[in-house]
Amino acid sequence: MRQLTINTFLTVDGVMQAPGGPEEDPTNGFTHGGWSVNYWDGVMGRNMDEFMGHPFDLLLGRKTYEIFAAHWPHVTNDPAADALNNATKYVASRTLSEVEWQNSQLIRGDVAQEVAKLKRGNGPEIQVHGSANLLQTLLKNELIDVYRLWIFPLVLGTGKRLFADGTIPGALKLVDSKTSTTGVIIATFEPAGAIEYGSFALDQPTEDEVERRKALAVGAR
């Protein structure tokens, strides 16, 4: 079984829309594009190099594919560019008829079923970068094995969120965390099954317990 890992930039209030620039995704009048740019430091760069330093395939939604395809083929002398350009890229889109970035292929048919089929096949880790709409499908079908979340120290109050309405409740296990010099928390989680609910409320005592407490109170006088 191939591992599917998501790599997502988030604000503290969970917004993941357009972290790299205003032009990325102005959907629904979003005006905060580019909110991640001024937080980057060496710690984050090294962690990204580590994350992309082993073989992987990419699974992308249409918007992220178009952003990447317009940028990375033109970047030279950059290991990240080489890794992205050489990776096999699976693109989930209902509107594209072809994909021209090298080693790219469209996912046709039901996305959840096709991704599940990819995971059952042979190959390297499948990474998902950005792709807010696609992530909702992956979440609802419980197809994510690892959550690599870059949590930036700001709130926006509006925008597309990773864990949107309709997300299936579940527990997560923290398996790694680092903090950049700019306050970005890089946290890696794995699914940990169902949530175990409880309560801090005091248990209602039984009648026998009430009587025992009364007797003890009397004896203590």
d(CA 133, CA 116): 17
Looking at the structure of the chain, the number of domains it has is 1
* Each residue's pLDDT tens digit, 174-221: 999 999 999 999 999 999 999 999 988 877 777 877 788 777 777 666
Strands of 172-179's sheet, edge to edge? 104-107, 89-92, 56-61, 125-129, 4-11, 146-152, 185-191, 172-179
Q: What pTM, to 2 d.p., does this model score?
A: 0.87
SS3 state of residue 29: helix
Range of the domain at 60: 4-219
Provide the CATH number for the domain around residue 81: 3.40.430.10
For residue 144, what are its two tokens? 């994510």
10 vs 206 pLDDT, higher one: 10
What does the pLDDT read at residue 206?
79
